[in-house]
Amino acid sequence: QVQLVESGGGVVQPGRSLRVSCVGSGRTFSAYAVGWFRQAPGKEREFLAVMSWTGTTLYYADSVKGRFTISTDNAKNTVYLQMNSLKPEDTAIYSCAADLRLRRLLLKESDYWGQGTQVTVSS
């Protein structure tokens, strides 16, 4: 069993940066792909970024490419999402997921999800 816990959300002004974190426990993550997703009120879950734990495979959604960066810290079993140049439309609940197959994450499917952390971009 894998448990994922996100943190780091909050209220931030447009144009500023924020980093959210996702700590995994229960298993070592060297075999897992990890990804970040978000869901705004009344909208479907949106894929943002996914990477293999080794970092050899990496994908971003066009909507965040160049602004968001996914990274991992193996020693801390943690995956990060660095978000720069935030916009009001980035307001959503941000969730991480882990799966043995990266392709499933690209399809927004996973056996393991965190509970999410709220990010609000507002002046």
* pLDDT at site 25: 85
- pLDDT given for residue 102 in this prediction: 93
Q: Profile the chain (123 residues) by mean pLDDT over runs of 10 residues.
A: 93 98 82 94 96 88 96 90 97 96 94 96 96
**What was the pLDDT predicted at 2?**
87
Does residue 85 sit in helix, strand or coil? Answer: coil
**What does the pLDDT read at residue 50?**
97
Specify the pLDDT at position 54.
82
Residue 23's DSSP bridge partners are 5, 78
- Relative to beta strand 18-25, strand 78-83 is antiparallel
- The DSSP bridge partners found for residue 29 are none
